Structure 1
Amino acid sequence: MKQIDEYSYQCGVMDCFSEMVKAGLKRIALSHPSSTKEIRDQYIPFAENICVKYQIHYYLDDDPLITDLFPASMNQNTYNIIFYKDENDIEEYRTLKKLKVKVIENKEYEKYRYEIAYRFGKLLSYSDETIQNYIQNNDEKE
């Protein structure tokens, strides 16, 4: 079998998710997290092209939202590209990040952590059952 290089693989992932965003199957979609900003930024020209192709947008996230939806180490200290169609969806993502900061500052994170993870899952267009399953089976909560 022919080997697929990492750059091509990541571009394929972004193209697939971008088409899903355009079709309305996902409100937002995440590229795979990159360990450095430089690695993430090498994909920007490709992201720009697929956004034109699918008539969507992208957002560079240098401080990803960490929730109980995914293992903390998956996105902690990483860099990401988020694809979206509707400006309200990326604004909701930014609002969730601000909410998390606020509830941590107010020492209320335990009270809101499920809600934040749930709302993040909904932004990713996951079903209630999938969100619940991801949270329950996440053995690496922050």
Structure 2
Amino acid sequence: MKELDQFSYACGVIDAFNEVVRAGVKRMALAHPCPSREERDSYLPFAEKICSQYGTRCYAEDEPLLTDLFPVTLNRGTYNLIFYKNESDLEEYLALKAQKARLCAAGAYRDEARREIAEGFGRLLSYTDEAIGRLIEENKEKEII
């Protein structure tokens, strides 16, 4: 089998996720996290071209929303591209980030409030309630606040 370089693989992921966002299968999708802003930005010209083809949008995320949905080391300190079709979905994502920041500042990011942030993020990613619950329960690497 021919070896696929990492850049081409990541571009394939970007294309595929934009296709499902365009089709309405997912409200929002994430590219693979990048360890540096420079690496993430190297994908921007391709991502912008694909978004133009599919009628989707791209948001360059420098401080990803960390929730109990995914292991914290998967996204902490990384840079990502978020794909979406409706501006209201990006606004909802940014509102979740702001809500988490307020909860953390007030010392209230725990228990039900913490779970609600993770569930809200999961719904934005169009995961089923069952999948959201399973991902949260299976995640053994949660953020320590």
Whether TM-score is above 0.5 comes out as: yes
Give TM-score scaled by structure 2 length.
0.97
Match of 1:132 in 2: 133
Give the Å deviation of 1:22.
0.1
- Structure 1 unaligned segments of length 5 or more: list them: none
* SS of corresponding position for 2:58: strand
C-alpha distance in structure 1 between counterparts of 2:53 and 2:72, whole Å: 33
C-alpha distance in structure 2 between counterparts of 1:135 and 1:93, whole Å: 18
Displaced runs of 4 or more, over 6 A: none
Give the Å deviation of 1:96.
0.3
Count of residue pairs brought into register by the alignment: 142
Give the Å deviation of 1:129.
0.3
- Structure 2 unaligned segments of length 5 or more: list them: none
Give the Å deviation of 1:134.
0.2
Q: CA RMSD in A?
A: 0.5
C-alpha distance in structure 2 between counterparts of 1:131 and 1:54, whole Å: 27
Give TM-score scaled by structure 1 length.
0.99
Letter in 2 for 1:74: L
C-alpha distance in structure 2 between counterparts of 1:35 and 1:71, whole Å: 15
* SS of corresponding position for 1:109: coil
Q: Alignment identity in percent?
A: 53
Match of 1:65 in 2: 65
Give the Å deviation of 1:4.
0.2
